[in-house]
Amino acid sequence: MKALRLREWKTEPVLTEVPQPRPGPGEAVVRIGAAGACHSDLHLMHEFGPGLLPWGPPFTLGHENAGWVHELGPGASGLEVGQAVAVYGPWGCGTCTRCLLGIETYCENPDKAPVPGGGGGLGLDGGMAEFMLVPSTRHLVPLPEGLDPVTAAPLTDAALTPYHAIRRSWPKLPPGTTAVVIGVGGLGHLAVQILRATTATRIIAVDTREDALALARESGADHALPTGSGTGPRIRELTGGRGADAVFDCVGSDSTLALGAESARSLGDLTIIGLGGGTLGMGFFTVPYEVSVQTTYWGSRPELIEVLDLAARGQLRASVTTFGLDEATEAYRRLESGELTGRAVVVPNRS
C-alpha cells in the first residue's frame, strides 16, 4: 500500500510502498477515509531533531484520522467490520488512572505505552496511508449517524484540542463575559464555533489575514480584529475596559502571548494552545492579578465523543480542503505557505 512517511528528522516526507498491516490480538486495522494535515507535522519535518522527543522516525504521518473498520484481530470486540470510526490519537498505557478516565494524553506510565507521549502519526504509523494499524479498539470511536470520515477526521485534533481548552474555562464564560481567540486557522475557526455552541460569551477573534477574519465571522465571532499595535486596546474598549475572561492563543508566538497577557481580565484564563515557540515572562506585574496561565495538550476520549456529537448535530464543522494521497506533500506545502484557510484533509480512499 502507499504511505506518506517521515524517514528522518528535518526532511520532507516521502510517498512510498509499505506492507499492508495485519492486526494482532486486540488490534484493529482501519481503512482510512481521511487524515488531517496538521501544523505540528511541519514542526516534526523541519524543527525537531534526535533526542528532543522519546520517539522518532521512520513512521507514517497523520494523527487526525477517520475511516472504516477493515479487520479485527483475535479478541478485539465492540466494533464491526465496515463500521465508520474516528481514531482517538494519543495512545497511553491503558491502565493508569488518567488512561482509565480516557485522558491518555497525560498517561502516567509512558514506559508502558506503545510510544511515550505519542500515537499513530506521532512515533507510530499514522493515517496518511490506505490502511492504519490501531493497537486497541478503545482508540476507535464510532461515528454518529450522518457524520462521514472526511468531516470527522480533522475534528479528532483540530476541534478536540480547542474543545478541551475551552471546556476547562466554561465556568468563566457565562453571559456578560468575553473570550478571545488568537489565530483563526485550522484550530482557531473551530474554537470560535465551540465557544458559540457551548457558551454564552461574547467572542472576539484576532488574526493577521483578512480571509481568516472572514472565516471567523462565518464561524460565529462577534468581532474580528486584525493584529496590530491597537489590538489590545481595542479588546479593552470592546469589554468596557475590563479585558477578556478567557484568551485562547492558537498561535503561541512571543507577540500573541504578549497580546494575550495584555488582553486578559483579572481572574481570567490565558490558555496557550499553539506551538509557535514563544515564551511569556512571568512576574508580579506581567499579567493582571490572578490570571491563570496554562498549556494544554490535545483532549480526552470522552471529550472526542462530545465533539463528534456536536458535529453530528450541525453545531461544529471544519472548513476543509481535500487532497488525494498522492497530493499530500502539496497539502503540507500550502499549509506551510499560509495559502489554506481551515484544515487540509488527505483522502486516501474516496469510497
CATH of the domain at 233: 3.40.50.720
Both 215 and 248 in a single domain?
A: yes
235: left (phi over 0), alpha (psi -120 to 50) or beta: alpha
Amino acid letter for position 179 = A
Q: What is the largest CA-CA distance in the chain?
A: 62
Residues 125 and 79 in one domain: yes
- Enter the pTM of the model: 0.95
Are residues 244 and 221 in contact, defined by beta-carbon separation less than 8 angstroms?
A: no
pLDDT 10s per residue in the chain (351 long)? 999 999 999 999 999 999 999 999 999 999 999 999 998 899 899 988 888 888 999 999 999 999 999 999 999 999 999 999 999 999 999 999 999 999 999 999 999 999 988 999 999 999 999 999 999 999 999 999 999 999 999 999 999 999 999 999 999 999 999 999 999 999 999 999 999 999 999 999 999 999 999 999 999 999 999 999 999 999 999 999 999 999 999 999 999 999 999 999 999 999 999 988 899 988 898 899 999 999 999 999 999 999 999 999 999 999 999 999 999 999 999 999 988 888 999 999 765
> Do residues 225 and 340 share a domain?
no
Same domain for 213 and 270? yes
Regarding whether 238 and 147 lie in a shared domain, the answer is: no
**Within this chain, do residues 35 and 151 fall inside the same structural domain, yes or no?**
yes
Same domain, yes or no, for 6 and 110?
yes
All three cell numbers of 74: 483475535
Tally the domains of the chain. Answer: 2
Distance (Å) of CA 319 to CA 189, 251, 288: 8, 18, 35
Statement to judge: residues 337 and 211 lie in one domain? no
Question: Are 10 and 124 found together in one domain?
Answer: yes
Neighbour tally for 106: CB within 10 Å: 17
Cβ–Cβ under 8 Å, residues 5 and 58: yes
Print the domain residue range for 219.
160-295
Residue 202, all three cell numbers: 461574547
CB atoms < 10 A from the CB of 326, how many? Answer: 12
- 75 and 138 housed in the same domain: yes
Do 6 and 150 have their domain in common? yes
